[in-house]
Amino acid sequence: MTITPEREAALLASVPTGLLINGEWRDASDGGTFDVFDPATGEKLATLASATSEDAMAALDAADAVQASWALTAPRERAEILRRAFDMITARAEDFALLMSLEMGKPIPEARGEVTYGAEFLRWFSEETVRDYGRYLTTPEGKNKIIVQTKPVGPCLLITPWNFPLAMATRKVGPAVAAGCTMVLKPAKLTPLTSQLFAQVMMEAGLPAGVLNVVSSASASKISGPIMADSRLRKVSFTGSTAVGKMLMKDATENVLRTSMELGGNAPFLVFEDADIDAAVEGAMAAKMRNMGEACTAANRFLVHEAVAEEFTTKFAAAMGALKTGRGTDPSTNVGPLIDGNARDDVHALVEKAVAAGAIAITGGAPVEGPGFFYAPTVLSNVANDAEILRQEIFGPVAPVTTFRDEAHAIELANASEYGLASYIFTKDHNRLFRVAEQIEFGLVGFNAGVISNAAAPFGGVKHSGLGREGGAEGLAEYTTTQYIGIADPYAV
């Protein structure tokens, strides 16, 4: 794909800029708009309608109106819609990759990877749609028959983050469609364009009007507040910060909503003394630098056995220092910008505090001068085990390295976090893998691998990293409710 200004302009012009309500793109009820910017240049990309609370309720009205009929739609029909959408997104992979690169900043090769990853949720759940099994059995005393069936939970509010504009939408919309739920989707205001185009594809794939409604807005609270206060909503699925997730969980108590919360992370990356160091460095690059470090699964705490810490840190710093920052559309770019100026300032503040406390920036350690919100890939050594940078989610291309003495010490350091989403273990000892995995408090464990997310696997964490799972059979179950039917056994005596 040759990327030119004309190619970018044509793609942006093809993206719907209104609100999708009951199958129609429309302006906001008050005519309000908001702008979307390129984080690599700071230039405006597009202007979108900004949904109001009135628009949010109109979207819920549309979702509620078709919930009953959509729930009764044959599983095969729902499955075929998802499969057609998968095929259409795959056919337009270059468009989606470029759009994500423009609004979020990631390099085109990585954006292509997200298209593959994000589209797979549609294919996976298209296959699972017809495999939502129930049970039929006899009660132990033989007096009755038991039928257990699953039903769609009902209208859902889906709130997606800015860092994976396609995958976070497909990971929620896919299982909701498979289960027979209607939806109101609220994309992040920083990166709504991909969701807008994705919704258009879903409509072209045959999704009935009202099943998926999209209310992009400059104000998240104007959308979530009134919808969650309405008893017709039955579920909220949120991916984002722990602070916002806690507020949404409080709001969800009023109507006892089903909740799926995929929140913050602070992943430990454990390198034991017997690890293949070159493989560990390769895994560290993948776990740290995917999405410029702007991922809840990003490795944030590099815990390395003191016997191999020097070798690992030297090789890791060399690999990080060789990366090139730039606009994602540049073929030579390895690392795109952070999402905005505030994000870059927050990352740099953590680095400055760490250095002031004695850490050493082996490579990087500062923002990149010039337009856009770039930060140099950074490796910090000599980081104290109680440093603030090890306690907070960095969300940027910064890797603090600290050491541990033995297996017990490694487990202690890994668990010294309020978060419990992703973790990574590098060792040649399979017995150690299982010992450590049993004792560390994380929902995801990567064994000698830096990237493990997959549509077929349950994704989610423990502690302040949230509750519920996305992906796999567990992801479909999040959108269903269980019903038991007891029948008198005609053969019982």
Active site residues: 262, 296
Residue with tokens 């995958």: 167
- Provide the token pair at 214: 């999209």
- Judge whether 216 and 59 are in contact, CB under 8 Å: no
10 Å Cβ neighbour count for 29?
A: 17
Whole-angstrom Cα distance, residue 456 to residue 470? 9
Q: Is 247 exposed, middle or buried (0-12, 13-18, 19+ CB in 10 A)?
A: middle
Q: E strands of 201-255, at which residues?
A: 212-214, 235-239
Strand order, beta sheet including 267-271: 360-363, 378-381, 398-404, 299-305, 267-271, 422-426, 444-447
Beta bridge partners, 33, equal 49
Which residue stretches of 364-470 are H helix? 407-414, 430-439
Whole-angstrom Cα distance, residue 414 to residue 432? 15
- Judge whether 264 and 464 are in contact, CB under 8 Å: yes
- Judge whether 31 and 18 are in contact, CB under 8 Å: no
Q: What angle do CA 190, 245, 289 make, to 5 degrees?
A: 55
Which residue stretches of 40-142 are H helix? 53-71, 75-91, 93-104, 108-128
